[in-house]
Structure 1
Amino acid sequence: MNRVFAIILTLTIVFLLPLQVSAQKSKFPDVTQFHGEIELLTSRGVITGFNDGTFRPKANITRADAIIMLMRELKIPLNEVRNPNFKDLKPGDRGYSEIAMAVQLEIVSGKPGNIFDPKGTLTRGEMAKILAITYDLGGIFPYGFPDVAFEHWTFPYISALAANNITVGFNDGRFQPGLPITREHFSVFMARIVNPDLRPYNPKVADSFLEAMFAMEIIDYVAHPTDSIIFLLDAQENAIIAFNHETYDADYIQLKLPAEKIAYANGKLYATQLTGVRSPFIKDEDMRGAFAVIDATTMTLERIINIKLDPFDIAADDNGVVYISSGSAQWTSVQSFNSVTGEVLSTQGIRHRSYLAMHPDQNRLYSINTDSSPRTMRVYSINEGKLGPEIRSPYHGDYSLNQDIAITPDGKYIINSRGHFFRSTVTPSADMRYVATLDQTYSSIAFDVEYGEFYTSNKQNWIQAYDYITLRPIYQLTTYGNVEKMFYQNDILVIFSKVKLGNSPRTFIGIEKIYY
């Protein structure tokens, strides 16, 4: 699982950022470009220039001067510093206190032989590392400089600066990490971090923030209702992963029997467990299967419940009742089970291979068939874990439906990826009634009901935002990868996408975010 869940945080970039000349002039007579950036740092006391009044923008910056500028910008008190004990730096030397504090903060370290080389030049790669660490910059830009190998130690830092639209390349497309950096370019990088308004427009920088990439094959996702956790079912390892997208902590449990679908309710995870081969010709009495009950906090297996059903989809409620639709036998059943004892609580008719959607109120269960045309929705009432007889949709082929069904977080609508919205209500005569259709289909959808927006994507590298009241499109957002799944949690749009690294033929699962 370490291999599967390894987060790739080291990528490169290939885009060029144009040199921009601000209309605001610098006080230094030898500054001919980047006036705004240099004037910003001058006004903040970061840049003072030389005794002759010049800035010397084309001169290479020394390691000591770079650290002095950083400490001035950070405004960190320097009255109490620990001696780093470098052979070439002693108390009273220029930059001693600033360098000692930077070492203390683990922003920089020395060179072999226990020296710091304060008068030595700083390379572009070293610059990227220092700035990324100092300002806690993260993110991935999934392109590559031809002169920076994937294994190069500067990868995570260059990538972080690029993801934040700070770093620049040369006209030939190279980054040149070993080249000394000039005083003006170091100033530009720092100014763009301090004031994001100075960052130039670049169409290759997406609206999302690519934070990590994984080598997994995710076949099902379930979001925790309150915490920043998303449960992932990885087909490669047949494992369920509890992934915290804020801390990037992860825990997992590997299952012995094949799993296809998972559900979460009240601190428990439930997973379908296949024990045989599906077939429309199997009789109900010959079907076999199971479901797993997992403690979602500790990610430990509590029990396996064997059932006389070939599980296809699964739902659960807070009372520990599990609802499973059959994957075999054509006209078959959906059943509810006591997840502790395994007792069958109820059985109702259903078309095999039907997907399920639990209403947020947990008083009714919706389904949609997948193997026949036209597709039809059904609803089953729930009373103390027992399913009532099916009520079919009032429409038969009037609205073409894809093989999915979901309920909006507020429970008002049943939705299908064809873009159709249907009413969800306990009143049978009004339930599943058509409301409206979006202007386009989607493969993934996420809702921010509180602020009245929702977001769709159709396996492309852009997202359409809608007004939740009018269902009208309002704006678009770009992503780095093709969107597979989205969740809105704690003011963050969390996006699982398929991303490639530069010209690599392999596709990874990317974790992209849009912060609101």
Structure 2
Amino acid sequence: MYKSSKIFIIILLLISSQLLFPNNKAEGRTLFPDITNYRNEIVFLADSGVINGYQNGNFGPNDSIKRLQAVQMIIRELGIRTGDAPNPKFKDVHPGSYGYNEIAKAAQLGIISGKSDGTFDPFGQLTRGQMAIILVNAYKLKGTYHSNFKDVSAKDMRLPYIQTLAAHNITTGYADGTFRPNTTLTRAHFAAFMARLLNEDFKPNGMSTLSTEKLANSAQSVVGIELYDENDELISLGSGFIVANQLIATSFHVISGGASAIAITESGEEIKLEGVVAYDDYLDIALLKPTKKLGYPSLPLTNFNSVKTGEKVVSMSSGFGVENTISTGIISGTQILEDEFGDVKTIQTTATITDDSSGGPLINNKGFVLGIKTFDFEGINFAISSDYVIEYMEDYKHLNFNKIQTEKFIDMPVFEFDDEEDWDDETLGVKPPKPIDLEPLKGTKQTLSDQFIDAVHDPEFPVVYGINRYGELISINHETKNIKKIPFNLPAEKIFYQNGELYITLLKGEHSSSWQEETQEGAVAIVDPSTLKIKKVFDINIDPYGVVADDHYFYVSSGSGQWTFIKSFSKETGLEVSSQLIRQESALVLHPNKDRIYAVDSDISPRDIEVFPINNGVLAKGYDSPYHGDYDLSTTMTITPDGKYIFNYAGTIFVSSRLQSTNMHFVTDLNTKFTAITFNNDLSQFYLAIAKRIYVYDYESFTPTKTYSIDGEGYFLFNYKDHLVVVGKEKSATTGIANTFILKATMP
């Protein structure tokens, strides 16, 4: 009896060795002598009980994987019970046949749909395109990739699935830029894809430099966070971003003091947050768990030691109802702050951080998160290093999502500044003035899908000229609603109007601290606004950033090279006339008298204003303001039409004078930041755009007198023949997409 039982067992083992996934995990895990590639991934799946090797100890990495086998692996990994699904009625799969239960369950869950002839073809070979479809369906993945594969057309129904898989960094395609969707899949390749899906550690680390436009694709992984009190009243807004295992990283102060919270995705979907997985109120970081996986790609993290001063970064946020908001800047420096409680690794950046962007990611040009944006203090923007999130994720990235425990929001300590006198709203400059006689601003309104990065208004005609986020010039007549567009051979970035001409900077490379003056290049186009025809394009030996022009010359500051140049050029010949030293990425403002140019730097702290006298196109050596960090400064400023004052958008006002002894001397502080400013014709009033309001100020006393509400946020203000023209951004009530609006109203 003993002998016959043993023989029976041996026979069973021999039979089971012909199947793909016998219950022989230990042996497959220790042997697999035929594996040369993806060994760690295959062993990981074997350890997880998803796959096994053959009875002879081999894995068969180059064997084709069958469609049924892929379904069995997925069902097994998901831990789904089978046997209760309705008959999918595939012609070649019948109740009781091998694999029927798994196929029926997969069809019920929408993972598979079969072929057009009504069959499933369970023992047919699985292609790469089919693999993309079933993995995206099985794990409810979302997202789009920043690039296209050459061999997957826009009409291919597999495209969105392949794009989503690439967005999650599960596939990178081939070196020649193809995906090869019709190529059959081997066991090793399917194991690699599954392992990357289940374990972030197996995902390839892309180290290629991405353009700002491609980096913007990462915004799909950024969420808005709304915090509510016990009465379901909204009390704060912030941002967060998806990390491994579909958790959300954010700043602790974003979720402190509330009873519940929701995350709002790129598509506008609102998902309740279950609670707090981990937090540190001293470091100002928190990990949150949504009630279900969001499905969008996680953002890769990098450590503090990889942060380089001067490298270009992108700041992302999703708040105040405007999703996918980004701003660019550089790393100004890194610092480890210490006190009696410990130390904090901080990153200083010129990329904008506002209340609603707190908790969002600061991303380098390779797509890695350097830190969590935390606060802006006196114009200096800080992020907390990703090191702390990486440390937390070691405990949670491999856990079953459904088994991760959370704490309630209401049980969190309340985040407070250590010294309220040092950190009040007035010091931070983030609290807008109290509204005065608030009422809606009424006028004619136009919306368009393009979003502007820079804009000017024609002084004679009801036309706004703007540079959109694709580097194109757009002309919008806000009376006739007529829109025209000019694409350039190079991306446009800045625009300036002077004497019936538009001066537009054209880029030949990305701004970079390491791009030295000797090799810099760019161009400036001069456009006739009446016809929107290009009159001239001048190639220049500088990376253009700021641009202004007078009657005969145009002036350009460099966006690269750290300590670099501002240069003047003849508008007739394009030849260089003169140059002076300036800091990279300095914004330029021409005085109404056209006898001097003011500049404010953007990448060092504290910021400073300087002035360059000009005479017949020749730039004289500049000199700085008498202050060094005494007053808050933003990277944008304007000069009053009478030429008397410099208004910095941080709310500080300075004298503009030809006398060096009084030039750039402090006048007053409006105690509020603003995004745009304009003046009425008789200079009795000026207008500030602050969030979703327009504030009217008395010009003599610099005090607010009236407040108007608008539906969106105003980014540009213009005075067109005593009409107030507001150009801003608002969220569409029907689509949830952010659009640009132009609102024209009689000046209050």
If the length of structure 2 is used for normalisation, what is the TM-score?
Answer: 0.40
Amino acid at match of 1:243: I
Q: Distance in 2 between matches of 1:411 and 1:234?
A: 30
1:466 aligns with 2:697: yes
Match of 1:275 in 2: 508
The unaligned stretches of length 5 or more in structure 2 are: 1-436
1:322 aligns with 2:554: yes
Q: Distance in 2 between matches of 1:496 and 1:278?
A: 27
Question: Would the alpha carbon gap of residues 499 and 312 (structure 1) be closer, same or farther in structure 2, given more than 3 Å must change?
Answer: same
Is the contact made by 2:638 and 2:647 (CA closer than 8 Å) also made in structure 1? yes
Match of 1:207 in 2: 441
Match of 1:424 among 656, 660, 681: 656
1:450 is paired with a residue whose SS is coil
- Cα distance per residue 1:221-247 (max 9 Å; x no partner): 1122333322111223x3212323233
Match of 2:679 in 1: 447
Q: Distance in 2 between matches of 1:214 and 1:234?
A: 11
Is the contact made by 1:380 and 1:389 (CA closer than 8 Å) also made in structure 2? yes
Match of 1:180 in 2: none
Match of 2:474 among 241, 244, 260: 241
Match of 2:486 in 1: 253
How far is 1:509 from its partner? 0.9
Is the contact made by 1:275 and 1:290 (CA closer than 8 Å) also made in structure 2? yes
What are the residue-to-residue correspondences of 1:352-363 with 2, within 5 Å? 352-363=584-595
Amino acid at match of 2:481: Y
1:377 aligns with 2:609: yes
1:304 aligns with 2:537: yes
1:351 aligns with 2:575: no
What are the residue-to-residue correspondences of 1:20-31 with 2, within 5 Å? none
Higher relative contact order (CA 8 A, sep 6+): 1
Is the contact made by 1:409 and 1:449 (CA closer than 8 Å) also made in structure 2? no
Q: Distance in 1 between matches of 2:696 and 2:438?
A: 20
Question: Would the alpha carbon gap of residues 204 and 284 (structure 1) be closer, same or farther in structure 2, given more than 3 Å must change?
Answer: closer
Is the contact made by 1:446 and 1:488 (CA closer than 8 Å) also made in structure 2? yes
Amino acid at match of 2:527: I
Q: Distance in 1 between matches of 2:502 and 2:634?
A: 27
Q: Distance in 2 between matches of 1:451 and 1:344?
A: 37
- Cα distance per residue 1:187-242 (max 9 Å; x no partner): xxxxxxxxxxxxxxxx9983233521100021101122333322111223x32123
1:455 is paired with a residue whose SS is strand
Amino acid at match of 1:352: Q
Amino acid at match of 1:409: P
Q: Distance in 1 between matches of 2:526 and 2:689?
A: 32
Is the contact made by 1:412 and 1:423 (CA closer than 8 Å) also made in structure 2? yes
Match of 1:226 among 460, 469, 480: 460
Q: Distance in 1 between matches of 2:642 and 2:475?
A: 25
Q: Distance in 2 between matches of 1:318 and 1:246?
A: 29
1:497 aligns with 2:728: yes
1:485 aligns with 2:716: yes
Is the contact made by 1:313 and 1:355 (CA closer than 8 Å) also made in structure 2? yes
Amino acid at match of 1:253: I
Match of 2:167 in 1: none
Q: Distance in 1 between matches of 2:507 and 2:734?
A: 38
1:260 is paired with a residue whose SS is strand
Amino acid at match of 1:475: K
Match of 2:707 in 1: 476
Match of 2:67 in 1: none
Amino acid at match of 1:220: D
1:264 aligns with 2:497: yes
Question: Would the alpha carbon gap of residues 318 and 249 (structure 1) be closer, same or farther in structure 2, given more than 3 Å must change?
Answer: farther
Is the contact made by 1:366 and 1:380 (CA closer than 8 Å) also made in structure 2? yes
1:396 aligns with 2:628: yes
2:581 is paired with a residue whose SS is strand
- Cα distance per residue 1:311-359 (max 9 Å; x no partner): 111111122x110000111101000001221111110010011000001
Match of 2:637 among 405, 408, 415: 405
The unaligned stretches of length 5 or more in structure 1 are: 1-202
Q: What value does the CA root-mean-square deviation take over the aligned residues? A: 1.8
Question: Would the alpha carbon gap of residues 216 and 427 (structure 1) be closer, same or farther in structure 2, given more than 3 Å must change?
Answer: same
How far is 1:428 from its partner? 1.4
1:285 is paired with a residue whose SS is helix
Q: Distance in 1 between matches of 2:680 and 2:488?
A: 33
- Cα distance per residue 1:10-59 (max 9 Å; x no partner): xxxxxxxxxxxxxxxxxxxxxxxxxxxxxxxxxxxxxxxxxxxxxxxxxx
Q: Distance in 2 between matches of 1:395 and 1:476?
A: 32
1:457 aligns with 2:670: no
Q: Distance in 1 between matches of 2:633 and 2:602?
A: 9
Q: Distance in 2 between matches of 1:429 and 1:271?
A: 34
- Cα distance per residue 1:359-398 (max 9 Å; x no partner): 1111100000000001010101110011111011111111
- Cα distance per residue 1:389-409 (max 9 Å; x no partner): 101111111112111121112
How far is 1:503 from its partner? 5.0
2:518 is paired with a residue whose SS is helix
What are the residue-to-residue correspondences of 1:184-195 with 2, within 5 Å? none
Is the contact made by 2:438 and 2:707 (CA closer than 8 Å) also made in structure 1? no
How far is 1:421 from its partner? 0.9
- Cα distance per residue 1:148-200 (max 9 Å; x no partner): xxxxxxxxxxxxxxxxxxxxxxxxxxxxxxxxxxxxxxxxxxxxxxxxxxxxx
- Determine which structure has the larger helix proportion and give its number: 2
How far is 1:414 from its partner? 0.8
